[in-house]
Structure 1
Amino acid sequence: MNTAHPDFDKLHHANPNERAIVIGSGFGGLAAAIRLAAKGYHVTLLEKLDALGGRGYTYRQDGFTFDGGPTIVTVPELFEELWALCGKTMSSDVDLRLMNPFYRIRFDDGRIFDYSNEKSENLRQIREYNPDDARGYERYLKASEARHKVGFDLLDKPFSTLAQLMRFAPDLVRLRGDQSVYTLVSKYIKNEQLRQAVSFHPLLIGGNPFTASSLYSLISHLEVTGGVWSAMGGTGRIVEAMGNLIKGQGTDIRVNTEVDQITTAGGKVTGVRLKSGEHIAANLVISNADSAWTYKHLLSETVKRKWTERRIDKAHYSNGLFVWYFGTKKQYPDIPHHSIILGPRYKSLLTDIFKHKKPTDDFSLYLHRPTATDPSMAPEGCDAFYALVPVPHLDSGTDWTTHAETFRKAVEERLEETGLPGLSENLATSLMLTPLDFQNRLNSVKGAGFSLEPRITQSAYFRPHNKSEEVDGLYLVGAGTHPGAGMPAVLSSAKVIDNLIPAVSHVS
């Protein structure tokens, strides 16, 4: 159902200079809508799906609630800023709980590492793997902090010019941004299993630890200093609360409304044309759609100089995702909120996924059990889960219409072997999302789970800019633009455009 502001007719006929259209309601789009309304714009938020959230969409089935994708909250201050813009406090609407452990990492040989919010506990476990690596881990955390001091400060700053890139270049050289996260970790930690436990974080944002810049190691510092949080009611509760903020600002929210084209004239945005044929006029459009999808499809009628179809097709994209949402008739109390179950291979597995686009049988996966924290996500006595498996994007040629159930069964068997005995007999509900769904449902080029891969040649200045290089009045937020994927990054992308777009009173 569309949620129109009572003064919809007034908004619909507002001066195009005072109107802003936001395409897509992922966290980047929601944050952008809040920030623009706070600047005085009449905002219209357009969402293709039947509810808000984008990749953070909530699925409900047979009494179970499943977060569509994002489940890990770091830097909650970025959310709190949005509530403050509306004169409210986030804690009044969303109950965040600190995770401990952050993640349980299970290696293929059955060994466990509980990555904790307590440094002393992490060091104790590290000594059990390799006593010498305890000191190395502490040195690595200092290296992560150094990269955080540089990298995190750049999250909400635009990278639209070479001059901005050159100001950053000395720090990039000093901190060896050309090296990978895994290379940096290996400098300090020698045990291979510990290297995996400390270096996997780029996978949370669609990056390969062996090619993602070492600057992304800043995630480690973020976690140990600020914690890993989850929302009661799931990530969907945050989406719902942000939607309520937006409604309170008078924004027109239209779901089941897909944009066909961003319209332009004379190199400037003039509005959007919907699939229905309706045209909405505006001189300011913010696309939270996948950046590659925006340039390839939503601007297909506009001549482009930089982000041509050829360049988009040749770009490097993140891995795809296979996500199996399932509920069980019984509970598995020994399974924590977040688990990472690693297979027998690490580097060669990631090479197969990212480089060779080769499907594999010896996968690794992330297991989400929100009922460990919030039993309301499932009927009484039951558990809600999802298993997320990194897989190649659609360039692999995999026919997911026939392969999905075969792969789901393999995931089920793997989970039965690694902590969920009797799973097949205790299934209460099941739902799958494949790279094909990411392409067709979420409008992601090649079905990539996180848009463009965050390698150094596709980061900062080399990523599609927040202020479009193609047409005036178009801005981009979300995983496919600067600074990239992950909740802190997509929220920061909205902060970037907030700094670029003047308030209504200053619009000429």
Structure 2
Amino acid sequence: MKKKVIIIGGGLAGLSAAVTLASNGFQVELFEKNKHFGGKLMPVTLGDYRFDFGPNTITMPEVFRKVIEQTGEKAENYFHMIKLENHTRNVFSDGSIFDFSSSREYMIEQLNRMDPAHRYDDFLKEITKLYKLSEAHFLPKTFSSFKDYLSPSLGAALLRVRPAQSLDSFFRKYFSRSHVIKAFNRYSTYIGSSPYKTPATFAMIAYLEMIGGVYYVQGGNAKIAEANVSLARKLGAGLHSETPVKKICVKNKKAIGIELEDGEKIHGDYVIMNADLLKAYPEMADERDRPSFPDSKAERMEPSTSAFVVLAGVNKQFPQLRHHNVFFSDDYEQEFTDLFKHKQYSKEPTIYISSSSFTDPAQSPGGSNLFILANAPALPADALLQTDPEEYKELIYRRLASFGLTLKPHIAEEKVYTPADIASQFGAFRGALYGPSSNRKRDAFLRPRNASIDIANLYFAGGSTHPGGGSPIVTLSGMNTANLIIKAER
């Protein structure tokens, strides 16, 4: 008789776990509270404009292909990935432009002008080393007990990935000009953290973009989630949207199923929680059943940044924009001081814009689909709004106009998402995008484990657990966790 696995949450981790388990003969039932599957990788349509709400920058394409190809299917039958060689335009208030590219020659050509004393080739060697160490010792592993952290090889690797050095300090070894350092420092925001506190280990993100490459999926990045849904169902998995889970049923310290919000109880041999652990675990499991993870533990963790997002459909194209664009504040360090120390919005935010219609005009016929994001502080414990959304939206438009990007007269469609919306829509702890921040070394390297210490047969996957956030990493998390269950049954 097939063993039954219940998955709570249909984000990328839940979907990759569903595909992996179903292809290995398990009965899988996945329950998602939203209408769509894919978590923050959510498609949004406003009039004639189509947007990806979630991850706009896709790296590690081999991970997304592996989810499909482990089943014997061909990934190209499900989605088509386009490599963006010159992928991110970094813009500064003095008019300087620095384009990130996976072309070493183009990067050196720019750096020779902007930062003549650069050590770009040495930089590439070091970030390659950091990535290879992570690839070997961190990304493919799951942590289900404290013993998993005691491996001598893991300890040796940890000492070699620069845990005591900050990202900012690391980048200053190879570059000297503030614009260049600022552009690289932005990689900390990929994990919702500060470059002035985040360990230099995460410079490996630069490897993913500068060497591995940045990609876009034809028709929108949400096609990745759609592919996983289609394949999971083809393999026999049951995927249930608009079906919130109320609690995890526990008997004799073992997960035996779930209770839906409507009161229906569903038995399962295993339960995987692909939901924000800091919020969902306290809500879905009685505190007496999880003595190693009391409510106070979640409350003590520093959440990552959230986001203030404007989806703007504009009726013209802007020649100065590329697929990915960043308009930097003059005082980047102050911005992170505001976000983490003062827990307030920056008055001079750095602004990211994705315009996928630059690569895929069908996403926005006759204009541009602009996904506009400013870093925002996580919600306070009382969940009160920290700024007026209309006022902050107008501040963003004024900031962009100061860079020569005047949008307001051309807006045909518009929608705003605040941290409170992100908390509500995605069940995110205090609206944080990536669970715990990586500002503290403990939270960076000792993220919550992939299996409950207290409740047998309960597993965790997603951005708030090991190995961390980011679309390819959470996808790995789902496959890794599924393989723990597969191994347990062998």
Relative to the length of structure 2, the TM-score reads 0.95
Q: Is the 8 A contact 2:84 2:213 kept in 1?
A: yes
Residue in structure 2 matched with residue 442 of structure 1 by the alignment: 426
Cα distance in 2 for residues equivalent to 1:473 and 1:175: 33
Residue in structure 1 matched with residue 69 of structure 2 by the alignment: 84
- What's the CA shift string for 1:439-492, capped at 9, x where partnerless? 1111111111111112421134x2110112231111111100001001221011
Among 158, 176, 179, the alignment partner of 1:172 is 158
CA shift at 1:24, angstroms?
A: 1.1
Number of residue-to-residue matches in the alignment: 486
- What's the CA shift string for 1:273-309, capped at 9, x where partnerless? 1111111111211111001112221113553222211
Q: Is the 8 A contact 1:333 1:372 kept in 2?
A: no
1:205 matches 2:177: no
Residue in structure 2 matched with residue 6 of structure 1 by the alignment: none
Among 389, 400, 417, the alignment partner of 1:415 is 400
1:223 matches 2:209: yes
Q: How does 1:302-341 map to 2 (within 5 A)?
A: 302-341=288-327
Cα distance in 2 for residues equivalent to 1:401 and 1:62: 30
User: Gaps (5+ residues) in structure 1?
Assistant: 1-14
- What's the CA shift string for 1:72-106, capped at 9, x where partnerless? 11111111111112221111221111113121001
2:438 alignment partner AA? P
CA shift at 1:269, angstroms?
A: 0.3
- What's the CA shift string for 1:299-322, capped at 9, x where partnerless? 135532222110100101101111
Cα distance in 2 for residues equivalent to 1:450 and 1:494: 15
Among 406, 412, 420, the alignment partner of 2:391 is 406
Q: Is the 8 A contact 1:454 1:484 kept in 2?
A: no
Cα distance in 2 for residues equivalent to 1:76 and 1:496: 17
1:253 matches 2:239: yes
Deviates most, 172-181 or 267-276: 172-181
Q: Is the 8 A contact 1:39 1:503 kept in 2?
A: no
SS in 1 for 2:426: coil
Residues 1:427 and 1:208: Cα distance change in structure 2 (over 3 Å)? same
Residue in structure 1 matched with residue 474 of structure 2 by the alignment: 490
Give RMSD over aligned pairs.
1.8
Sequence identity of aligned pairs in percent?
A: 29
Deviates most, 477-486 or 98-107: 98-107
Q: Is the 8 A contact 1:96 1:230 kept in 2?
A: yes
Residue in structure 2 matched with residue 386 of structure 1 by the alignment: 371
1:272 matches 2:258: yes
Among 87, 103, 123, the alignment partner of 1:140 is 123
Residue in structure 2 matched with residue 47 of structure 1 by the alignment: 32
CA shift at 1:231, angstroms?
A: 0.7
Cα distance in 2 for residues equivalent to 1:66 and 1:132: 40
- What's the CA shift string for 1:202-222, capped at 9, x where partnerless? 211212211211111111122
User: Gaps (5+ residues) in structure 2?
Assistant: none
1:156 matches 2:164: no
1:212 alignment partner AA? T
Q: Is the 8 A contact 1:263 1:271 kept in 2?
A: yes
Q: Is the 8 A contact 2:90 2:97 kept in 1?
A: yes
Residue in structure 2 matched with residue 108 of structure 1 by the alignment: 93
Deviates most, 85-94 or 242-251: 85-94
Q: Is the 8 A contact 1:37 1:249 kept in 2?
A: yes
- What's the CA shift string for 1:93-140, capped at 9, x where partnerless? 21111113121001222210001111111111112122111xx22222
SS in 2 for 1:324: strand
Relative to the length of structure 1, the TM-score reads 0.92
2:480 alignment partner AA? V
Deviates most, 394-403 or 347-356: 394-403
- What's the CA shift string for 1:45-89, capped at 9, x where partnerless? 111111111111111121211111111111111111111122211
1:150 alignment partner AA? L
2:369 alignment partner AA? A
Cα distance in 1 for residues equivalent to 2:223 and 2:207: 26
